[in-house]
Amino acid sequence: MAKRRRLVVGNWKMYGRLTSGLVLARDLVEQAEARKPLHFDMVICPPVTLTWAISETIMGTPLMLGAQDCHTATHGAYTGDISAAQLADLGCRYVILGHSERRLKHGESNQLIAQKLEAAQLAGLTAILCVGETAEQLASGSTTDIITRQVQECLPEKYRAAHLVIAYEPAWAIGTGQQPAPDTIAEVHKIIRQALGIAGETVQILYGGSVSPANAEAILLQDEVDGVLVGSASINSDGFWAIAEKCNA
């Protein structure tokens, strides 16, 4: 079977204003151009306020654009929300869904995430579905059950595997400097592949949670790991590229 192409995703969260965001995007482009052709894919997910400006900056470069969330509907009376089709209009090709910050701080359920995923794929976006256990679930030994349920319940009946990426992001590892051992990450990725069935052979599975230039190599040396989803370390061009280059490991 052909090797899955690797993918590095930067989640800028709610960081960055117009000037700083454009500086970062231009830096990332400059470094991408200097390294062409890339043997992996790179996606940045800035705050939606920056998307249009950055879309113009990265057009025609190896960088691709993503968003951090979308609504379940295509349009309607949903004050403050943004649809997947509107993100596609801005040049987005990916959207992160089910991030633990949305599950825990906005009460998003697996069922809601499944509806968002369906809407995203209908709009032609690739969904980056985040799954992962909390510290309590880890302590109670329920990681396998939680992850399996999240994968099964967050995928609508007719999802398109070709437009799906899964990110294993333990909630306790996000922004904490802690993370599972690389072989534990590989084990969980295998569980995700099993839960996906036949699609598990082709769907890219990323790891996310406190990924840094110092630990990226050990994670990416795991064959099971098809890339990384990077939060705070992605808002520094040199740091993000130092991580991305480990994809060649």
Per CB under 6 A, does 11 bind ligand PGA? Answer: yes
**Contact, 66 vs 93, CB < 8 A?**
yes
Q: Which is nearer to ligand PGA, 29 or 211 (CB)?
A: 211
**Contact, 235 vs 27, CB < 8 A?**
no
Q: Write the CA distances from 203 to 156, 163, 165, 170, integer angstroms.
A: 15, 8, 6, 19
Q: Write the CA distances from 136 to 96, 144, 171, 172, integer angstroms.
A: 24, 13, 10, 9
Min separation Cβ 191 and ligand PGA, Å: 19
Q: Which part of the chain contacts ligand PGA (CB under 6 A), choosing from 35-43, 81-89, 157-165, 223-231?
A: 223-231
169 tagged catalytic: yes
Residue nearest ligand PGA, Cβ-based: 231
- Among 99, 108, 133, 245, the one annotated catalytic: 99
Per CB under 6 A, does 86 bind ligand PGA? Answer: no
Asked whether the CA dihedral 86, 92, 96, 101 is positive or negative, the reply is negative
Min separation Cβ 198 and ligand PGA, Å: 27
In the region spanning residues 162 to 191, those forming contacts with ligand PGA, defined by CB under 6 A, are 169, 174-175
Residue from 10, 21, 180, 209 touching ligand PGA (CB under 6 A): that is 209
Q: Are strands 40-45 and 6-11 parallel, antiparallel or unpaired?
A: parallel
Per CB under 6 A, does 229 bind ligand PGA? Answer: yes
- Among 108, 118, 133, 169, the one annotated catalytic: 169
Q: Write the CA distances from 9 to 74, 164, 204, 216, 229, integer angstroms.
A: 25, 14, 12, 13, 5
Beta strand segments in the chain, E: 6-11, 40-45, 63-67, 94-97, 126-131, 164-168, 204-208, 227-230
Residue from 84, 232, 237, 245 touching ligand PGA (CB under 6 A): that is 232
Min separation Cβ 169 and ligand PGA, Å: 6
Min separation Cβ 171 and ligand PGA, Å: 9
Q: Which is nearer to ligand PGA, 85 or 97 (CB)?
A: 97
Residue positions annotated with a catalytic role: 99, 169
Contact residues for ligand PGA, defined by CB under 6 A: 11, 169, 174-175, 208-211, 229-233
